[in-house]
Structure 1
Amino acid sequence: MREFTIGPNDAGQRLDRWLAKTLPLLPAPLAQKYIRIKRVKCNGKGAKRDTRLVQGDVLQLYINDEFFDTPTPENAFLSVFKPQLDIVYEDENLLLVNKRPGLVVHPDEQEKVNTLLTHIQAYLYQKKEWNPRQENAFAPALCNRIDRNTGGIVIAAKNAETLRVMNQKIRDREVEKSYLCIILGAITPPAGRLEGYLLKDEAKKLVSVHKTPVPGGRTAVTLYQTLAQKNGLSLVACRLVTGRTHQIRAQFAAAGHPLLGDGKYGRARENKKYGRTGGQALCSYQLAFRFTTDAGCLAGLNGRVWTVDQVDFVTDYFPHVPLHP
């Protein structure tokens, strides 16, 4: 229990508004609940949320200690009252989550709370599978990341051993990540391999594609296959051999076939023509574990494949193409 005495600067405020300012980590719906069930008392008695505070009032807050912490990126998950997750698979070690387009995976300068990671941490915290006050260093973490406007499967580790093993498997290319995208036009040949060197411009948040090695450039290899063509668009399946920033988007643009809806590497006029201006038509729709070395606690996942149930742009532009052939 924490106790506060209302001073002259706080007098006149509504109780619920004072609580929101004093405990910014406490989600508003939970604050309202605590007031309702009398875990917030004024002068020893329950009070209503619209009670006007008077100088000298003594408030007793029967609220968990973690909500009194100073807000940081590490405790942002406390502000998530109802985690919104599309869980593809879950066991005691990891989560596979289908991230919706528009959601960032990690907190950044623009968004601190509404991120995939904070929703995952809130979910595990509320399930009592993870409590940061009982951990020295570990917090649930993502093993891979995808762009804000790209949807698809993201791997989250529930424990340090899973994070270590999965990160190594990704480095050893024992995790197959397959994507669906819509490109402008029809690429030739309809199935093949895009290979080059990507150079990232950190200031502009863009990558350039080069046919020959360049200082700072990294090898990028994408295998692709055209699945369908219609109205000047092609639905293409891609498998990443390497996983570089903006790899698929930049390589197809460099090949003369940018992704539909891509605001960085695409064509604004074509995006508008086809009615896709809210983000690139790209989804990490399938994930397969192909372990060839010891996987420790994850050995039971070897050989398994997961595919998302629905991809919005496939439904919109190629509704008769199945995601589960």
Structure 2
Amino acid sequence: MQVIYEDNHVIIVHKESGEIVQGDKTGDRPLSETVKEWIKEKYAKPGNVFLGVVHRLDRPVSGLVVFAKTSKALARLNEMFRKGEVHKTYWALVQTPPAVPEATLTDWLVRNERQNKSYAYDHEVPGSKKSILHYKTIGSTDRYTLLEVNLLTGRHHQIRCQLANMGCPIKGDLKYGARRSNPDGSISLLSHRVEFIHPVSKENISAVSPLPADRAWEGVKK
């Protein structure tokens, strides 16, 4: 586990692809438990360690995850996420360059619970949620294009679904149309940067994730 930022109220860690943020039906050990154990050992804390989960990343996605270390920070961060006051920037490698280098996408997404997949429509349909993101092309290699993505809404698989819907599935994302999987089962989507006003100190917090240990990310011309 790699800690990117920590103080008395907040801890930001880098999640590897394949990890789950919070416990689920798989029974696999979640990142939240690893962070609790790290805090307990570092500070020799007796008893249970408090850790609040304020947001999640899909299992095959890597990058920054913010946790709350106090109940005060948890309540305030939950409200900040709800109001869109926590700004997350994602990087995505796609094999097909977008037709327009920079644009805002607006779709209506419907989540299929059984398939654990979302479907995009260009108009409102029953059960759909309006979904908006902004992307811009920021780099390339001989085989891939690097997109920077900012979410204006937070929907199930939103980036994966909307990029695929415009003909640019994320590298390795078989569920949304990639031609082949990544060897480690990841998809090339990274929670790259997170910025917010600290819920207690009111200082500006900005954290940046390291790039995945994958040759595809190397040599991207930015």
Instruction: State the TM-score, normalizing by the size of structure 1.
Output: 0.63
Paired residue for 1:230?
A: 141
Offset at 1:311? Answer: 2.8
Residues 100, 152 of structure 1: 8 Å contact kept: yes
Change (3 A) 1:123 1:230: closer
Counterpart amino acid of 1:100? E
Cα deviation for residue 296 of structure 1 reads 5.1
Structure in which a larger fraction of residues adopt helix = 1
Distance 1:186 1:298 in 2: 42
Q: How does 1:186-225 map to 2 (within 5 A)?
A: 186-225=97-136
Task: Please name the residue that 1:310 is paired with.
Answer: 211
Is this contact kept in 2: 1:192–1:225, CA < 8 A?
A: yes
User: 1:93-135: CA deviations, max 9, x gaps?
Assistant: 01001001111111112224x2101111222233245733xx9
- Evaluate the alpha carbon distance shift between residue 153 and residue 240 of structure 1 in structure 2; reply closer, same or farther with a 3 A threshold: same
Give me the identity figure in percent.
25
Contact kept, 8 Å, 2:94 with 2:171, in 1: the verdict is yes
Aligned partner of 1:299 among 178, 202, 207? 202
CA distance in 2, matches of 1:151, 1:130: 31
Distance in 2 of aligned mates of 1:224 and 1:312? 24
* Structure 1 or 2: more strand by fraction: 2
Match of 2:34 in 1: 119
Residues 96 and 155, structure 1, Cα contact 8 Å, conserved in 2: yes
In structure 1, what is the Cα distance between the partners aligned to 2:30 and 2:92? 23
1:50-89 equivalences under 5 Å are: 85-89=1-5
| Deviation at residue 276 of structure 1 after TM alignment | 5.1
Given the alignment, which residue of 186, 209, 218 partners 1:279?
186
What number of residue pairs does the alignment pair up?
Answer: 221
Match of 2:159 in 1: 248
Match of 1:14 in 2: none
C-alpha distance in 2, partners of 1:118/1:208?
32
RMSD: 2.1
Higher RCO structure (Cα 8 Å, ≥6 apart)? 2
Quick one: which amino acid aligns to residue 144 of structure 1?
A: H
Are residue 98 (structure 1) and residue 14 (structure 2) matched? yes
Q: Per the alignment, in what secondary structure is the counterpart of residue 163 of structure 1?
A: helix
In structure 1, what is the Cα distance between the partners aligned to 2:144 and 2:117? 24
SS at match of 1:153: strand
Distance 2:8 2:173 in 1: 37
Q: Which runs of 5+ in 1 are unaligned?
A: 1-84
Which structure 2 residue ranges, 5 or more long, are not aligned?
none
Contact 2:140 2:220 in 1 (8 A): no
The 2-side partners of 1:129 and 1:158 are apart by 13
Which is higher, the Rg of structure 1 or of structure 2? Answer: 1
